[in-house]
């Protein structure tokens, strides 16, 4: 071991001598001093980096667009009369996803309110107007009529969609779960296409 170390030390000593001894190589350092220009070029050299980053940013952006196209499996007959894309949703998935809501919401006509308002007749109903339910100001002061699109946005992120509302629910993250749930709600709560 120690012999190896010694010989290594000896070798590096030789290397040092060799490095210093080459006085004729003075020209090399001076040309290296002019080199700083190429050395400062790393800045442009780093510009390629953002491009791969942009590529990876574009990839996730493309994924959601592809997701709805991937969602349709065999269409559920229960949803056959719904407008697209809800007619492509999976009934079993919708019914299953509604279990996330049913601790707080009933969806049968006249069944009354729980922690949350009854959802029968939700579509085409003005936000915050189910009789007998004490809404937060956030919902009372909101001014729109529930459409499938509004429900989709609401369920994507309830807290952000109407700030200050009292629905303590994190949301439904997967687009295909929301699609199926909204289709399920449409069939269960008496959805009718808006008269136009």
* Binding-site ranges for ligand HEC (CB under 6 A): 100-101, 103-105, 115-117, 122, 127-128, 130, 135-136, 138-139, 151, 154-155, 165-169, 172, 181
Residue 15 to residues 1, 8, 20, 22, Cα–Cα distance (Å):
21, 10, 9, 11
Q: Considering the complex, what minimum distance in angstroms separates the CB of residue 60 from ligand HEC?
A: 24
Q: Considering the complex, what minimum distance in angstroms separates the CB of residue 100 from ligand HEC?
A: 4
State the Cα–Cα distance between residues 13 and 11, nearest whole angstrom: 5
Q: Considering the complex, what minimum distance in angstroms separates the CB of residue 63 from ligand HEC?
A: 23
Which residue, 167 or 186, has its beta carbon nearer to ligand HEC?
167
Q: Considering the complex, what minimum distance in angstroms separates the CB of residue 70 from ligand HEC?
A: 22
Q: Considering the complex, what minimum distance in angstroms separates the CB of residue 52 from ligand HEC?
A: 38
Which residue, 59 or 152, has its beta carbon nearer to ligand HEC?
152
What is the DSSP secondary-structure string of the chain?
Answer: -HHHHHHHHHHHHHHHHHHHH-GGGGHHHHHHHHTHHHHHTHHHHHTTTHHHHHHHHHHHHHHHHHHHHHS--SPPGGGTTSPTTGGGS-HHHHHHHHTTTTTT---STT---SSS---TT-TTSBTT--TT----HHHHH---B--HHHHHHHHH-HHHHTTT----------HHHHHHHHHHHHHHTT--PPP-
CB 157 within 8 A of CB 183: no
The residue whose Cβ lies closest to ligand HEC is: 101
Q: Considering the complex, what minimum distance in angstroms separates the CB of residue 109 from ligand HEC?
A: 14
Which residue, 6 or 126, has its beta carbon nearer to ligand HEC?
126
């Amino acid at each position: 071991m120690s012999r190896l170390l010694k010989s290594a030390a000896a070798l590096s000593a030789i290397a040092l001598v060799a490095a210093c001894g080459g006085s004729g190589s003075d020209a090399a350092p001076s040309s290296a001093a002019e080199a700083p220009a190429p050395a400062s070029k790393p800045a442009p050299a780093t510009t390629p980096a953002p491009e791969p980053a942009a590529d990876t940013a574009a990839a996730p952006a493309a994924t959601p667009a592809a997701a709805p196209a991937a969602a349709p499996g065999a269409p559920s007959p229960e949803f056959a009369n719904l407008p697209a894309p809800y007619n492509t949703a999976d009934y079993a998935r919708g019914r299953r996803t509604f279990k996330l809501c049913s601790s707080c919401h009933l969806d049968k006509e006249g069944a009354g309110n729980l922690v949350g308002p009854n959802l029968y007749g939700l579509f085409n109903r003005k936000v915050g107007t189910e009789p007998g339910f004490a809404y937060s100001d956030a919902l009372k002061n909101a001014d729109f009529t529930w459409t499938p699109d509004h429900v989709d946005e609401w369920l994507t992120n309830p807290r952000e969609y109407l700030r200050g509302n009292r629905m303590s629910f994190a949301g439904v993250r997967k687009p295909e779960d929301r699609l199926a749930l909204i289709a399920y709600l449409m069939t269960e709560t008496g959805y009718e296409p808006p008269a136009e």
